[in-house]
Structure 1
Amino acid sequence: MQQTEAPPLKAWLLLLLLALIWGSSFILIKKGLIAFRPDQLAAIRIASAGFFLLPFLMQRFKTVRRHHWPKLISVGLVGSFIPAFLFAFAQTQLASGVTGVLNTFTPLATLIIGVLVFRQMVAMQQWVGVLIGLAGTFVLITASASGELQFNSFALLIIVATICYGINLNLIKHHIPDLGALTITGVSLFLVAPPALIYLLVATPFIEQLGTQPDVVFSLGAILVLGIVGTAMALVIFNTVVKMTDTTFTSSVTYLIPIVALILGVIDGEPFLIEHAIGMAAILVGVFIANRRARKPRVAPTV
């Protein structure tokens, strides 16, 4: 057993970098959907991410043992493959900024799964911080120019995706502690990249669209940036932070993501209301409380 410590400065810097990268992902999805269907976008994203990391994995495959493979396949599916499709379909009916806001359900899903499945202990202040952040999220989700509450059923796709992220976070932290971040990210993505590529080429008119679809170069470029930078490179950073800190701290990146997503959405013409400012302020307060170092150190659980 070991005592919990305040997250180091390096962890905070990586967290902010992740917020910038992933906060930009929603506007990239929006641009990718100009020329491609949501299933195509997701397939291109996963395939480009998985094959991009392949050259860096040749020696790391040797560190993967037989018992690792089912876990890495699970990480690839619940941490990347399934959420990529869910986000792409959801954003056909949701603004990029709102999608980024909905992503803040991840910390709550992570906490609940960690407590119920992995018997993880959490401090009361973490629950308080998460709830404050979720309150800010509620303000952002329900904000509208008409002043009326609004709900879009496509938002449920994002909730399912965040549950996948919660499962993935706990899986990496508690069941794959002996593999490095690049190995986990690269191998798990590579395992799901071939099915994504096969689906793209066989089940969709992707090749035909390359020569006929307007804005195809622009949209394809946006999706490739999304896959290579927003998925492959970002997940390496993400898994590094998971191993440096705890799952609650790492999942708090989703509190910062909507701020970036909303700002980019405004630049792209999406509305910004006073409720957005109030919601973002509450989210930042929630992040501070959830990750503030307690006066008395707590004992971390052993699993």
Structure 2
Amino acid sequence: MKIFDLSKPLGQWLVLIFLAFIWGSSFILMKRGLIAYSHDEVATLRLVISFICFLPLIFKNLKKVNKKDLKYFFLVGLFGNGIPAFLFTKAETGISSSLAGMLNSLVPLFTILLGVVVFKIATNKIKLIGVFIGLIGAITLLSSNGLNFKNDEFGYGAYVVLATICYAISVNTIKKYLQDVSAIIVSSFAFLFIGPPLVIYLFTTNFVSTTVNDPLAYNSLFYISILSIFGTALSLVLFNVLVKHTTAVFASTVTYLIPIFAIFWGVIDGETIHFIQIFGIFIILIGIYFVNKFK
């Protein structure tokens, strides 16, 4: 981690922006994966490939793991990876990738709420103000995309909201119970519990026949692989390192920046961007400033 000195604010911000780019790109990659595969196949492939990437680290660190931490690894694996992966791919069968990225900005709000109410983690009013300012920016972005609560978009958007609650549970679990555990161990052993059953589940789907018979399958598989290696395996290690060196709330504010990159890829993919979206991003950045400025 010599490239990013996480003991200094500059290093923390560089990691935050880098993660935002990776995760902001994940929505368009999921969209590409869904061209050939079903939503559950995309989610399963993403997690299985990530699990395979983590296997060497799991074997290497097997003797370093404290048994008392296993239940927390399970929670991180389930709520930080497993459930959200399926919720997001399901959501993107009914809403755009950019809208999914925008809704993802709810994570810091749920991180604060669950941190205070469930995990008994102390915070302050200034951080709460920052989170709500960021939330207003996220709502502005969401509104600019023309969300109509009378159609199915609301229902599919609810999948993303549920995913953000799951992420908040995972972030707070890492911060409260796994603070002294290596980020690499946390990231890899979280997959120890969800990886094996998902490998079995993958072969109960139409994955094999789709890969063999669909001419677009290899392109989709390529995008899913990028999503798995960079958007899941590598980014999880970086994110868990960031949580340990900062706060759960600051680390989760990466989701405020994610819509910027999600919209960018949306534009590249043929979508248009409006002034109100730029205004929403500006509000989000103000929220991040308040969350990070006052410790």
Name the amino acid aligned to 1:150.
N
Q: Determine if contact 1:7/1:245 at 8 Å carries over to the other structure.
A: no
2:183 to 155, 165, 181: 181
Q: Which runs of 5+ in 2 are unaligned?
A: 1-6
Matched residues, number: 286
For residues 201-255 of structure 1, what are the alpha-carbon distances to aligned partners after superposition, in whole Å with 9 as ceiling and x for unaligned? 12x1111111111311110000011111100100000000000011110000000
Q: Deviations over 1:25-61 (max 9, x none)?
A: 0000010000000000000000000111211232311
Who is 2:4 aligned against?
none
Q: How does 1:77-96 map to 2 (within 5 A)?
A: 77-96=78-97
In the TM superposition, 1:170-249 aligns within 5 A as: 170-202=172-204, 204-249=205-250
Question: 1:20 corresponds to which letter in structure 2?
Answer: F
Secondary structure of residue in 2 paired with 1:94: coil
For residues 53 and 60 of structure 2, the distance between their equivalents in structure 1, rounded to whole angstroms, comes to 15
Q: 1:178: how far off? A: 2.7
1:35-50 matches, cutoff 5 A: 35-50=36-51
| Aligned residue type for 2:209 | E
Cα distance in 1, alignment partners of residues 260 and 64 from structure 2: 38
The 3 A distance-change label for structure 1 pair 7 and 247 is farther
Segments of 4+ moved more than 4 angstroms: none
Q: Paired residue for 2:71?
A: 70
Q: Is the 8 A contact 1:95 1:270 kept in 2?
A: no
Q: CA deviation at 1:74?
A: 1.2
Q: Structure 1: state its 5+ residue gaps.
A: 1-5, 295-303
SS in 1 for 2:67: coil
CA distance in 1, matches of 2:201, 2:135: 36
Q: Is the 8 A contact 1:200 1:206 kept in 2?
A: yes
Check the 8 A contact 2:134/2:285 in 1, yes or no. Answer: yes
- Write the letter of the residue equivalent to 1:177: Q
Aligned partner of residue 158 in structure 2, secondary structure: helix
**Inter-partner Cα distance in structure 2 for 1:10 and 1:59:** 28
The worse-fitting range, judged by mean Cα deviation, of 15-24 and 266-275 is 266-275
1:21 Cα deviation after fit: 0.5
SS of 1:154 mapped into structure 2: helix
User: What secondary structure sits across from 1:120 in the alignment?
Assistant: coil
Give the Cα–Cα distance (whole angstroms) in 1 for the partners of residues 238 and 167 of structure 2.
15
Q: How many angstroms apart in 2 are the aligned matches of 1:258 and 1:25?
A: 11
Alignment-mate amino acid for residue 284 of structure 2: I
Q: Secondary structure at the match of 1:271?
A: coil
Deviation, 1:7, is 6.0
The one-letter amino acid of 1:185's match is S
1:276-287 correspondence to structure 2 within 5 Å? 276-287=277-288
The AA in structure 2 aligned to 1:115 is V
Post-superposition Cα deviations, 1:122-160, rounded to whole Å, max 9, x if no partner, equal 12221111111111111111124xxx6523211111111
Deviation at 1:177, TM superposition (A): 2.2
CA distance in 2, matches of 1:108, 1:126: 10
2:263 is matched with: 262
Report % sequence identity.
40
TM-fit CA distance, 1:273: 1.8
2:125 is aligned to 124
Provide, for residues 161-199 of structure 1, a one-character-per-residue CA deviation record: whole Å limited to 9, x for no partner: 000011101101101123100000011113211111211
The RMSD of aligned alpha carbons is 1.5
Provide, for residues 65-103 of structure 1, a one-character-per-residue CA deviation record: whole Å limited to 9, x for no partner. 221111111110000000000000001111111110100
CA distance in 1, matches of 2:191, 2:58: 11
**2:286 counterpart of 1:288:** no
Tell me the distance in 1 between the aligned counterparts of 2:248 and 2:75: 17
Question: What's the secondary structure of 1:73's corresponding residue?
Answer: helix
Give the TM-score taking structure 1 as reference length: 0.91
Q: Distance in 2 between matches of 1:273 and 1:190?
A: 43
Counterpart amino acid of residue 274 in structure 1: F
Matched residue type, 1:112: L
Q: Which amino acid aligns with 1:106?
A: V
Q: Deviations over 1:243-298 (max 9, x none)?
A: 0011110000000001000011111012212221111111111111111136xxxx
Distance 2:99 2:275 in 1: 15
> Normalising to structure 2: TM-score of the pair?
0.93
What residue identity is the alignment partner of 1:214? P
Q: Amino acid of the residue matched to residue 176 of structure 1?
A: L
